[in-house]
Amino acid sequence: MKTRTTGLTAQELARYLGGRVQVLAEGNDVQSRNAKLVAVDILNEEAKVCYDGSRIEYSLSSEFIRPVLRKLVTINNEEASECFKTAYSWEEDIDVVVTRGNDYIELYADPITLIITAKGVIASSKDSGYRVGPARVNARAILNYLDAQSFDLDGLIESGFAIDDEILTD
């Protein structure tokens, strides 16, 4: 895999197929445009996008395409509850208390606490009343769920290789 210098490689970009992206403008007088990523050619480092409101596919170099992602701390209560249920394979509805830090979220439903950092580090503990110990958690299910909700767990927004959903240009 190539080292990232100006953007994601086509192979890295393929992870966001079907998702929202922003195509960077090549000049100062042209505005970036929102699109949907519809195909990726890994060998030629190209991608195809459909701009919002269009069905026409445009081929572009992958270096001009940025996925539109969300910061983990923007998770809403319904998503947090679903994430918690996914982590422990619970079917029933539960009340989850969400605490948001600068770069982490803490999800709590008595007696379990789940902490997820913006870099995808996961910790889980269970308070049995007299002792706090680890709680088994399905980390893969958590990461798959958060990835499907377009959360950035790789620091791509901070590095400039993804666009923050909150500051997306129209």
Give the model's pLDDT for residue 129: 75
**Average pLDDT of the chain to the nearest whole number:** 88
Among 84, 108, 88, residue whose Cα is nearest residue 98: 108
125 and 106 Cβ atoms separated by less than 8 Å = no
Q: What residues contact residue 41 under an 8 Å CB cut-off, 6+ apart?
A: 10, 47, 48
Query: Which of 70-79, 124-133, 152-161 is predicted with the least confidence, judged by mean pLDDT?
Result: 124-133
Give the model's pLDDT for residue 121: 94
DSSP symbol at 144: H
Give the model's pLDDT for residue 37: 94
Does domain 10-69+155-167 fall under CATH 3.40.50.1820? My reply is no
Tens digits of residue pLDDT in 20-44: 999 987 655 456 889 999 999 999 8
11 and 42 Cβ atoms separated by less than 8 Å = yes
Query: Which of 40-49, 107-116, 123-132, 149-158 is predicted with the least confidence, judged by mean pLDDT?
Result: 123-132
Tell me, yes or no, if the two domains 10-69+155-167 and 72-148 fold the same way.
Answer: no
* pLDDT at residue 1 is higher than 60: no
Does domain 72-148 fall under CATH 1.10.10? My reply is no
Side-by-side strand order, sheet with 104-109: 97-100, 104-109, 112-117, 122-127, 132-134
Q: What residues contact residue 80 under an 8 Å CB cut-off, 6+ apart?
A: 96, 98, 105, 107
Tens digits of residue pLDDT in 150-160: 999 999 999 99
Please, what is the angle between helix 77-88 and helix 139-148, to 10°? 150
Among 75, 154, 91, residue whose Cα is nearest residue 120: 154
Distance CA 5, CA 25 (A): 17
- Parse the chain into domains and list their residue ranges: 10-69+155-167, 72-148
Give the model's pLDDT for residue 7: 84
Distance CA 151, CA 68 (A): 9
For the segment 74-78, the average pLDDT, to the nearest whole number, is 95
pLDDT band at 4 (very low <50, low <70, confident <90, very high): low
pLDDT band at 169 (very low <50, low <70, confident <90, very high): very low
